[in-house]
Structure 1
Amino acid sequence: MYKFNNDLKLTEYDLIVFCHLRWDFVYQRPQHLISRLSKKYKVLVIEEPVGKRENRNLNIKEISPSLHILQPEIDHLSELSAYIKPLLKNKIYPVGWFYSAAFVDVLETFDFETIVYDCMDELSLFKGASQELIQQENKLLSAADVVYTGGKSLYESKKLKHHNVHCFPSSVEVNHFSETNATEIPEDMKNIPSPIIGYYGVIDERIDLDLLQKSAAKLPNHSFVMIGPICKIEEHELPQAENIFYLGMKSYDELPNYLNHFDFAMMPFALNDATKFISPTKTLEYMCAYKPIISTKITDVVQDYSHCVSLVDDADDFAEAVKNPVRNLKEKYDEILRKTSWDLTANKMTSIISEILA
């Protein structure tokens, strides 16, 4: 658990991360990787602005002695360089790590011996994306020493634009999601009838709401449980039915217990611009709990997991996948999970950086 430390001073850092996601939002790729990198480097994560406030404090979260999170109290990213310039002791740092090209203007003020672009999503295709983002990414790609991508589709796209691109699909903490000691059903699931078809993650424009509505209608004796924050869509847009339940956001530590009580795990993603390049982290997390997985035909899922995931086009396919799930899952899942871990991914990324810095 982090703590606010307004007396903490921004001192020497080895790695400065620029991230569009909040550290205390859904726990995903940045948190997994940066927390591991902080065992080798002293890290400062700079989030998107939180807006100006009357009583201005230096909002720093201390995750650990080697990992700090800064929330800039400014209204727009264009103000970021001016905001952090007097706060940071140096103007040259070993590593600058970018999750969003929207931060690229800081390169006009700060120098980094190595610039890393960890491209986990094609943000320019997301709802509400800035028109400038494509130009900003071109600028970042020109400056970057290395580009990491969060999936194979992104890799195929970015390797056309940069000479040093490495594919690092999202990974998993197997022990965390295969933990079955906590068998007590969560309080807000106790009155939900089984069998349960569950999803967890952000609920936004990437979810095929029509598929969810029609699949729930096709399977009235199954409960559809949606766990996660609702973003960029209005609550009144969400499908409503007696067998659809929205449980809100849960912490990373809580997720395994919810997952443990799913009978099926689903990824009902819409096939649109926002999902064109995604490589869902939850695929591997669902596998850790040996749940039958039902997914729409996301490119990276089709490419890597078609032998063990039920792929669907519509509600008829979805109902059929529930009636006839993929068999022999444990053997298939174990073979996949043996090859991946966040520790391994972070170590490989670190090795590449070390070679560049050498």
Structure 2
Amino acid sequence: MTRATTDYEVIFVEEPMDAPDMTPGWSIAISGGVTVATPLLPAGGSHEQRVETQALLVDNLLMGRLPRVVWYYTPMALEFSGSLGSTTTVYDNMDELALFHGADSRIRQQEALLMARADVVFTGGHSLYEAKRHLHPNIHPVPSSVDIAHFRRPEPMLADPQDQAHIPHPRIGFFGVIDERMDMALVDELAARCPEMQFVMVGPIVKIDPASCPERPNLHWIGGRSYDQLPAYLHHWDCGFMPFARNDATRFISPTKTPEFLAAGLPVVSTAIPDVQNPYGDLGLVGIADDAEGLAAAIEVALASAGDPAWHSRVAEQLRSSSWDSTWALMHREISTVTTQALESEHA
């Protein structure tokens, strides 16, 4: 969205919060050139009342802003924006949200409506594209991208964060949301098998019981950290790992952290997630295994090859085509095409 500000005024509508004085309104902030608009809704209203109020707020916020591109990250946003006019409608289908734990039962129905309305659809990876390519005539795979400059190791190095500075090496790190997509039994078995390795887990624990996170002397649950804080953690790790479970919630994921680990100069190991296996595993950039024994062996190989110039050269070549700049250029081209067609049709 920050890249999009070079071509558009970008207003990002966040999830609503309760209005402190029960008066509907907006909380507005600017971040990276993006206007972040959070609806403030009176607490205690019915779902229907909250949707109606949110629809009125959005209508007023966007009044007069035409031509308009309406970009959806979730089909559920149709509830409050279904009557909102747009020149172009974009569906950025980043994940198969209907398969996530606790997903709204109406997502599939809402997605069918959004697919019918959308002018262009992007999917978060190739596996999701293959699953949905038959659902829309103008659909494009857009795998996870990376802000290379943000994650690249600077000289001199960033200081080691205080909450991990005491942890010995080798450090094997994970960052991201910790939820039903993580294979906790695998994490536990791997930590038990490799007591000489320290596993640093950075991220908020959501939708699962924190007690389900295994406890061992070499397992360190750091908690959530901001995007700006992440590089300092990664730059003091020796290997990244992605212990994803093989379940419905991970069937179509394309982890953004894969290229982010690589941009930070870290070797990476992962379970066999399709959009990690292809291309990263197939190119020999990420070690792939699906059990603790295999992951332990893959980590040993990764640690031994971390300084290999040939590996770093192959990583750099892959990342050149994985930047957010190139991704936005692709998306902008597709959006501009359908927007131009719509405007020409209006004036024909």
Q: What SS does the corresponding residue of 1:112 show, helix, strand or coil?
A: coil
2-structure distance, mates of 1:305, 1:108: 39
User: Given the alignment, which residue of 325, 329, 336 partners 1:347?
Assistant: 329
With 85-94 and 214-223 compared, the bigger mean Cα shift is at 85-94
Which residue is 2:104 aligned to? 130
The answer to whether the 8 Å contact 1:92/1:111 transfers is no
Q: What SS does the corresponding residue of 2:40 show, helix, strand or coil?
A: coil
Which residue is 1:70 aligned to? 37
Which residue is 2:26 aligned to? 58
2-structure distance, mates of 1:91, 1:310: 48
User: Given the alignment, which residue of 311, 318, 325 partners 2:295?
Assistant: 318
Which residue is 1:115 aligned to? 89
2-structure distance, mates of 1:341, 1:192: 32
Describe the shift of the 1:183–1:110 C-alpha distance in structure 2 as closer, same or farther (beyond 3 A): closer
Describe the shift of the 1:277–1:302 C-alpha distance in structure 2 as closer, same or farther (beyond 3 A): same
1-structure distance, mates of 2:19, 2:213: 33
Q: Deviations over 1:77-118 (max 9, x none)?
A: 633213323444238642000000001134532110100001
TM-score normalised to the size of structure 1? 0.86
Count of aligned pairs: 324
Q: Does 1:40 align with 2:7?
A: yes
The answer to whether the 8 Å contact 1:180/1:260 transfers is no
Amino acid at match of 1:84: V
Q: What SS does the corresponding residue of 2:31 show, helix, strand or coil?
A: strand
Which residue is 2:246 aligned to? 271
**C-alpha RMSD over aligned residues:** 1.8
2-structure distance, mates of 1:87, 1:280: 33
Describe the shift of the 1:114–1:336 C-alpha distance in structure 2 as closer, same or farther (beyond 3 A): same
2-structure distance, mates of 1:317, 1:88: 53
The answer to whether the 8 Å contact 1:94/1:112 transfers is yes
Q: Deviations over 1:114-171 (max 9, x none)?
A: 0000111111111110000000000000000000111001111221111100111111
2-structure distance, mates of 1:99, 1:184: 35
Amino acid at match of 2:26: L
The answer to whether the 8 Å contact 2:27/2:39 transfers is yes
Amino acid at match of 2:329: N
Q: Deviations over 1:294-330 (max 9, x none)?
A: 1000011112111221111111111111222374421
Q: Does 1:89 align with 2:63?
A: yes
Q: Does 1:192 align with 2:159?
A: no
Describe the shift of the 1:241–1:351 C-alpha distance in structure 2 as closer, same or farther (beyond 3 A): same
TM-score normalised to the size of structure 2? 0.88
Q: Does 1:243 align with 2:218?
A: yes
Amino acid at match of 1:219: C
2-structure distance, mates of 1:107, 1:83: 10
Q: How far apart are residue 265 of structure 1 and its match?
A: 0.4
User: Given the alignment, which residue of 169, 176, 201 partners 2:150?
Assistant: 176
The answer to whether the 8 Å contact 1:117/1:148 transfers is yes
1-structure distance, mates of 2:230, 2:132: 32
2-structure distance, mates of 1:124, 1:108: 20
Q: What SS does the corresponding residue of 1:271 show, helix, strand or coil?
A: coil
2-structure distance, mates of 1:316, 1:352: 45
2-structure distance, mates of 1:324, 1:313: 15
The answer to whether the 8 Å contact 1:91/1:111 transfers is no
Amino acid at match of 2:27: N
With 285-294 and 163-172 compared, the bigger mean Cα shift is at 285-294
Gaps of 5+ in 1: 1-33
Gaps of 5+ in 2: 341-348
The answer to whether the 8 Å contact 1:97/1:115 transfers is yes
With 236-245 and 40-49 compared, the bigger mean Cα shift is at 40-49
2-structure distance, mates of 1:103, 1:333: 37
2-structure distance, mates of 1:308, 1:38: 33
The answer to whether the 8 Å contact 1:91/1:110 transfers is no
Identity between Structure 1 and Structure 2 (%): 40
Q: How far apart are residue 226 of structure 1 and its match?
A: 0.3
Amino acid at match of 1:61: A
Describe the shift of the 1:264–1:108 C-alpha distance in structure 2 as closer, same or farther (beyond 3 A): closer
Q: Does 1:100 align with 2:63?
A: no
Amino acid at match of 1:286: F
Amino acid at match of 1:239: P
Which residue is 1:15 aligned to? none
Q: How far apart are residue 351 of structure 1 and its match?
A: 1.3
Q: How far apart are residue 55 of structure 1 and its match?
A: 4.8
2-structure distance, mates of 1:36, 1:134: 30
User: Given the alignment, which residue of 330, 335, 358 partners 2:317?
Assistant: 335
Greater per-residue helix proportion:
2
